[in-house]
Amino acid sequence: MSKISSKLLALGLLGTLGSVAAACGSSSTNASSQSTDWATAKSATAGGGMNALIAAAKKEGTLTVTTLPADWANYGTIMKDFTAKYGIKITDVNPEGSSQYELDSIKSLKNTTRGPDVVDVGPSFALLGDQEGLFAPYEVSGWNNINPQEKAADGTWYYDYGGYISIGYNASQIPIPPTSFQDLTNPEFKGGVALDGNPTQAGAAFGGVFAAALANGGSLNNIAPGITFFQHLAQIGNFVPIAATPAAIQSGQIKASIDWDYLNVAYQKEAAGKVDWKVVIPSDGLYASYYCQAVSKYAPHPAAARLWEEYLYSTQGQNLFLQGFARPVLLSSMVSSGTVNSGFLSLLPAVSGSAQFPTQAQLTAAKQVVLSQWSSVQG
């Protein structure tokens, strides 16, 4: 699942977020699930409480999602756990889509039973979808514990998990570990450096370009050096326009993958015994970002959509993101409250220094530059 990044100035480091994650809502059943229009309910409390929401979601029996591959941020386990907990079947229409695909799916399939109930998109796409009126406001039970910088004020989207751009590499093919973007220009990387998709559509790839810009004289106001870097990488034959996948990594086709750290670490785990895959966070281009949750305004299963969000922002759901090596938005508060799984936390890659987070305006401008200039990169 690839997505592009934008929206809001996040806090200095991933992990200095929020406060204590709240328990999963009220148990009041003053309003029955039969009398609630969950398509317009802006919170579980407004619909009669969690019991009413659970009953309505179970009655719907189905949740439709898209662009949630099983090996992305532990979504395979998360979806299985949700189904086991509530008995609601999840259909992932296109696990290998992109953030743009998710928005397009809402528009093309609205008012049908096949449209996505929820989306998980990069912040710039959350902003775009919000501007296009595609999302329904909904505040999860722990809403007040999500920092203002991490959500839309009207509840149309909110951060869920994030990570750092990293370099995963095949240590059998690359004996000297790369520690910077500059190292990727070395001859041993010829024909083997990949992004996770196309940065005009894919958030992980866009993050890779932004990180490369920071490593090559660019700034949050200037992503162009990142494009120039990949132009050079392509000219010397090191960059290949192949999306990073576990299969490509295990086949040896990709020598290095510029991707979110939680994905590269997941690839490392999956490739154990097949490929000696290692992960570093480059010293010269420290860049981090979150993805965002949103409920579709046209969700065919509106109660299940809202129950899914409640689950993701519960302690259980947040810890499952952490199990997938992603930093959940409520990580800091979970550490403070003692509800974080310390075993999962210990597996996160080490980070030295402070991450840089672009503002909404900076990301919007960067996205336009990538859209207009990426075609110049030849692989």
pLDDT value of residue 31: 37
Burial class of residue 329 in the structure, from the number of CB atoms within 10 Å of its CB (0-12 exposed, 13-18 middle, 19+ buried): buried
d(CA 324, CA 304): 23
10-residue mean pLDDT profile of the chain (379 residues): values are 37 34 35 70 96 98 96 95 98 92 96 95 89 97 88 95 95 92 96 93 91 96 97 96 88 93 91 92 90 97 98 97 94 92 90 76 90 85
Give 360's Cβ-side CA count (13 Å radius): 10
List the structure tokens of 208.
Answer: 């890779």
CA distances from 372 to 4, 29, 126, 227, 241 (A): 15, 53, 21, 11, 18
Q: Could you write out the three-class secondary structure of the chain?
A: CECCCCCCCCCCCCCCCCCCCCCCCCCCCCCCCCCCCCCCCCECHHHCCHHHHHHHHHHHCEEEECCCCCCCCCHHHHHHHHHHHHCCEEEECCCCCEHHHHHHHHHHHCCCCCCCCEEEECHHHHHHHHHCCCEECCECCCHHHCCHHHECCCCCCEEEEEEEEEEEEECCCCCCCCCCCHHHHCHHHCCCEEECCCCCCCHHHHHHHHHHHHHCCCECCECHHHHHHHHHHHHCCCECCCCCCHHHHHCCCCCEEEEEHHHHHHHHHHCCCCCCEEEECCCCCCEEEEEEEEEECCCCCHHHHHHHHHHHCCHHHHHHHHHCCCEECCHHHHHHHCCCCHHHHCCCCCCCCCCECCCHHHHHHHHHHHHHHHHHCCC
pLDDT value of residue 3: 43
* Stated pTM of the model: 0.80
d(CA 379, CA 363): 25
pLDDT value of residue 7: 31
The one-letter code for the residue type at 261 is D
Segments making up each domain of the chain, as ranges: 165-288
Q: Is 165-288 a domain of CATH 3.10.20.310?
A: no
pLDDT value of residue 364: 85
* Terminal CA-CA length for the chain: 21
List the structure tokens of 280.
Answer: 């570093």
Rounded to 5°, the CA angle 156-142-24 comes to 115
d(CA 282, CA 284): 6
pLDDT value of residue 70: 92
pLDDT value of residue 16: 35
